[in-house]
Amino acid sequence: MKRKLLAAAFLFFFVSVQLHALTLEEERKYGREIFVEIARGTKPYTDPYLPIQLSLIKDRIEASTALPFPIKLTVIDAYSMDAFATMGGYVYVTNGLISACDREDEIAGVLSHEFGHVGRFHVSKRIEKEKTLSIARLAALFLSMVIPNPAVSGAVLSTGMAGAQTASLKYSREDENEADSTGVGIAERAGYSGVGTAEFLKKLRLTGLEKTLPQYLLTHPYSDERIGRVEALATTRKTSVDTSLFPFIIARMTIVDRPFGPEVEDQWARRYARNPDDPVNIYGMALVLTSKGNSEQAIKTVQTINSPHKALFLGEIMVSARRWGDAIRTLENESNPIALFFLARAYEGAGDVARAARILEGLRSYAGTYPEIYQRLGMVLGRQGNEAGGYENLGRYYLGTGKEQQAGTYLEKAIAKYGLNSAKGQELMALLDSFKKDPSKK
């Protein structure tokens, strides 16, 4: 027991000292360690629509600015409403926050604000001033932001942590102003309205939802003064990129994010009865019918929709109904990555694993935000008899979900199959070494 305590004390001292005056490489390393801890304490969001769409938004925003790190965006399945950045380009957002958005430019504004914190190194600057904070404690504080139970959050914060430490990690007014101005510019260059963040914050103020947000650690003040300042920074109020899918995603979240029951069914039945021509109402009603097992009626309902996304919605429901051939014919000419994901599912269900694998290979750029793409690809390649590729992608899936031990097991198997001296083997060995031989790991 004493040896364990000494080891813990050594780790605390070692990591705490290393957090001072961070290099870019140290930021990446510690950002990854925090990611692993957060992954252990939260649930990933697994429905494909939201993470893939957020990946598209992330890529669009990221391309409009120069950042010191590539962004690793993680969607946390939590009812709490928060978005925050840590070190090394790691950004987190809860589906609870996204569900409160009405328009895509609102979440784009929130993400642009967090990217502003990343670009200005605000997190690492805060940490440099706090010399006795370990990675484990820092991860626990971030976790407390998304734990919905206030009693649990309070316990996390109070365990060996003085209030002064918590206060020292809050963004300063200057940090927030800088992230606001930087974020508005990033969002506008990406094609979004510059008032997206302000509109979201105004809605929170009007509805009282801001009272559910934790006002400690790295969360942000929501004063009317700040909202007005963000509005004044905007130079355009019109979004120029296609955001037509976003309202359907928000509608979908009201159905798939909670247990299906009479309350959900009644909500959408009333909406559909009031306006049966509204495309969002039609899609919501079709999802309700699918959830009840009435796929045929769901398909008939979606066929009445007037939307450029009609094929996606039809194909998705056909996949749910295991009508593989119909789904393939419906989706085979689509280019939206969400539609392609369902097309791969349809080919997989039909037994054409070669085509499924080719499609999933083309979707790997979205796997950073939606790691299930790696998982499905690994399973499909395994069914093809490509053991090396199967092991590799399963390893990448576990790495993308913070499960480093499982990732190491599968990557080692992939290296053995590819051959240690092969190009692929060397690539995966470098990936394995990047986390498995980290001297700060226990």
In a domain, 368, yes or no: no
Q: pLDDT over 70 for what percent of the chain?
A: 80
With a cut of 50, say whether residue 168 has pLDDT above it: no
Whether residue 179 contacts residue 67, with contact meaning beta carbons closer than 8 Å, is answered with no
- Tell me the average pLDDT across 92-96: 92
How many of the other CB atoms lie within 10 Å of CB of 378? 25
With a cut of 60, say whether residue 425 has pLDDT above it: yes
- Tell me the average pLDDT across 425-435: 93
Asked if 19 and 120 sit in the same domain, the reply is yes
With a cut of 50, say whether residue 165 has pLDDT above it: no
Of 343 and 119, the structure prediction assigns the larger pLDDT to 343
Asked if 222 and 251 sit in the same domain, the reply is no
Asked if 123 and 159 sit in the same domain, the reply is yes
pLDDT digit string, tens, across residues 253-305: 999 998 899 999 999 999 999 999 999 999 999 999 999 999 999 999 999 99
What pLDDT is attached to residue 435? 83
User: What is the arrangement of strands in the sheet containing 90-94, beginning at the earlier edge strand?
Assistant: 72-76, 90-94, 83-85
Asked if 151 and 79 sit in the same domain, the reply is yes
- Tell me the average pLDDT across 157-166: 37
Q: What's the rounded Cα separation, in Å, for the pair 326 and 315?
A: 8
Phi, psi of 419 (to 5 degrees): 105, 130
Asked if 129 and 206 sit in the same domain, the reply is yes
What pLDDT is attached to residue 375? 98
Q: What's the rounded Cα separation, in Å, for the pair 123 and 40?
A: 21
With a cut of 70, say whether residue 186 has pLDDT above it: yes
Q: Which residues contact 112 (CB under 8 A, 6 or more apart)?
A: 61, 182, 183, 184, 186, 187, 190, 192, 196, 197
Q: How many residues does the chain have?
A: 442
With a cut of 50, say whether residue 167 has pLDDT above it: no
Whether residue 258 contacts residue 264, with contact meaning beta carbons closer than 8 Å, is answered with yes
Most confident listed range (2-11, 107-116, 305-314): 305-314
What pLDDT is attached to residue 258? 86
Asked if 101 and 215 sit in the same domain, the reply is yes
Q: Which residues contact 428 (CB under 8 A, 6 or more apart)?
A: 392, 395, 411, 414, 415, 418
In a domain, 209, yes or no: yes
Asked if 117 and 229 sit in the same domain, the reply is yes
Choose among 39, 34, 46: nearest CA to 375: 46
Q: pLDDT over 90 for what percent of the chain?
A: 59
Q: What's the rounded Cα separation, in Å, for the pair 102 and 98?
A: 9
Phi, psi of 92 (to 5 degrees): -125, 145
In a domain, 153, yes or no: yes
In a domain, 67, yes or no: yes
Residue numbers of the domain that contains 296:
244-308
With a cut of 60, say whether residue 351 has pLDDT above it: yes
Q: End of a domain among 308, 331, 364? A: 308
Asked if 263 and 192 sit in the same domain, the reply is no
Asked if 255 and 178 sit in the same domain, the reply is no
What pLDDT is attached to residue 179? 81
- Tell me the average pLDDT across 115-140: 71
Q: End of a domain among 269, 292, 308? A: 308
With a cut of 90, say whether residue 121 has pLDDT above it: no
Q: What's the rounded Cα separation, in Å, for the pair 281 and 297?
A: 15
What pLDDT is attached to residue 429? 96
With a cut of 70, say whether residue 357 has pLDDT above it: yes
266-272 own/partner pairs: CB under 8 Å, 24+ apart: none
In a domain, 174, yes or no: yes
Reading the block at residue 349, the tokens are 């269900």
Least confident of 77-81, 248-252, 365-369, 376-380: 77-81
What pLDDT is attached to residue 135? 67
For residue 172, the 8-state DSSP code is P
Query: What pLDDT band is residue 230 in, cutting at 50, 70 and 90?
Result: confident
With a cut of 70, say whether residue 222 has pLDDT above it: no
In a domain, 394, yes or no: no
In a domain, 276, yes or no: yes
Whether residue 418 contacts residue 429, with contact meaning beta carbons closer than 8 Å, is answered with no
Asked if 172 and 258 sit in the same domain, the reply is no
- Tell me the average pLDDT across 91-114: 92
Q: What's the rounded Cα separation, in Å, for the pair 112 and 99?
A: 18
In a domain, 259, yes or no: yes
With a cut of 50, say whether residue 339 has pLDDT above it: yes
Least confident of 6-15, 34-43, 185-194: 6-15
Whether residue 115 contacts residue 54, with contact meaning beta carbons closer than 8 Å, is answered with no
What pLDDT is attached to residue 81? 80
With a cut of 60, say whether residue 157 has pLDDT above it: no
What pLDDT is attached to residue 224? 76
Q: How far is CA 415 from the centre of its chain?
A: 29
With a cut of 90, say whether residue 142 has pLDDT above it: no
Q: How much is the mean pLDDT over the chain?
A: 84
Asked if 78 and 146 sit in the same domain, the reply is yes
Least confident of 118-132, 155-169, 191-205, 374-388: 155-169
Number of domains in the chain: 2
Asked if 229 and 248 sit in the same domain, the reply is no
Most confident listed range (107-121, 160-174, 341-355): 341-355
Q: End of a domain among 308, 340, 358? A: 308
